[in-house]
Amino acid sequence: MLIGKPADIAPSEITPVETFRRRREIVKALGLSAIAPLSTAWPALAQAEDAPHQPPIKQFNKTDFGKEEKLTPYQDVTTYNNFYEFGTAKEQPAVNAKKFRTTPWSISIEGEVHKAQTLDMDKLLKLAPLEERIYRMRCVEGWSMVIPWVGIPLSALIKLAQPTSNAKYVEFITAAEPDSMIGVRAPILDWPYLEALRLDEAMHPLTILAVGLYGEYLPKQNGAPVRLVVPWKYGFKGGKSIVRIRFSERMPQTTWMRAAANEYGFYANVNPKVAHPRWSQASERRIGSGLFTRRIPTQMFNGYAEQVGQLYAGMDLAKNF
Partner 1 sequence: MPPSKTTLSCYKLLLFVLGLLPLLRLLWLGFSDELGANPVEFIEHSTGTWALVSLLLSLVITPLKLIFGWPWLLLYRRMLGLFMFFYACLHFLSYLWLDHWFAWAEIIEDISKHPYVLVGFTALMLSLPLALTSNQFMMRKLKRRWKTLHQLVYPIAILVILHYWWLVKQDITQPALYALVLAILLLARVYLRLNPKLNPKS
Residues 6+ apart with CB under 8 A from 64: none
| Residues 234-273 as x/- pattern, contact with partner 1 by CB under 8 A | -------------------------xx-------------
* Nearest-approach distance from CB 257 to partner 1, in angstroms: 13
Nearer to partner 1, 116 or 143 (CB): 143
* Nearest-approach distance from CB 284 to partner 1, in angstroms: 11
Residues 195-234 that bind partner 1 (CB under 8 A): none
Binding of residue 47 to partner 1 (CB under 8 A): yes
Residue 67's identity, in one-letter code, is K
Specify which residues 134 forms β-bridges with.
Answer: 148
In degrees rounded to 5, what are phi and psi of residue 93? -55, -40
Judged by CB under 8 A, the residue of 120, 129, 279, 309 near partner 1 is 279
Please give the order of strands across the beta sheet that includes 169-174.
117-120, 106-111, 242-248, 169-174, 194-198
Binding of residue 58 to partner 1 (CB under 8 A): no
Helix, strand or coil for residue 43?
helix
Binding of residue 20 to partner 1 (CB under 8 A): yes
Nearer to partner 1, 105 or 234 (CB): 234
Stretch that binds partner 1, among 59-67, 124-132, 208-216, 277-285 (CB under 8 A): 277-285
* Nearest-approach distance from CB 52 to partner 1, in angstroms: 16
Integer Cα distance of 59 and 55 in angstroms:
12
CA 54 to chain centre: 17
Q: List % helix, strand, coil for the chain (3-state, nearest 5).
A: 30, 20, 50
| Residues 59-78 as x/- pattern, contact with partner 1 by CB under 8 A | ----------------xx--
Helices and strands: H and E segment counts in the chain: 8, 12
Size (the chain), residues: 321
Binding of residue 14 to partner 1 (CB under 8 A): no
Burial of 92 (0-12, 13-18, 19+ CB in 10 A): buried
Nearer to partner 1, 20 or 164 (CB): 20
* Nearest-approach distance from CB 226 to partner 1, in angstroms: 23
DSSP state of 305: H
Nearer to partner 1, 20 or 315 (CB): 20
Residues 167-186 that bind partner 1 (CB under 8 A): 186
* Nearest-approach distance from CB 24 to partner 1, in angstroms: 6
Binding of residue 46 to partner 1 (CB under 8 A): yes
Binding of residue 190 to partner 1 (CB under 8 A): no
Q: Name the residue among 117, 72, 91 with its Cα closest to residue 247.
A: 117
Binding of residue 99 to partner 1 (CB under 8 A): no
Contact 159, 253 (CB under 8 A): no
Integer Cα distance of 158 and 203 in angstroms:
7
Binding of residue 285 to partner 1 (CB under 8 A): yes
Q: Name the residue among 265, 151, 157 with its Cα closest to residue 210.
A: 151
Q: How many residues bind partner 1 (CB under 8 A)?
A: 39
Judged by CB under 8 A, the residue of 60, 65, 80, 247 near partner 1 is 80
Binding of residue 295 to partner 1 (CB under 8 A): yes
Specify which residues 118 forms β-bridges with.
Answer: 108
3-state per-residue secondary structure call for 77-100: HHHCCCCHHHCCCCCHHHHHHHHC
Residues that bind partner 1 (CB under 8 A): 15, 20, 23-24, 26-27, 32, 43-44, 46-48, 75-76, 79-80, 84, 88, 90-91, 141, 143, 186, 188-189, 259-260, 275, 278-280, 285, 287-288, 290-292, 294-295
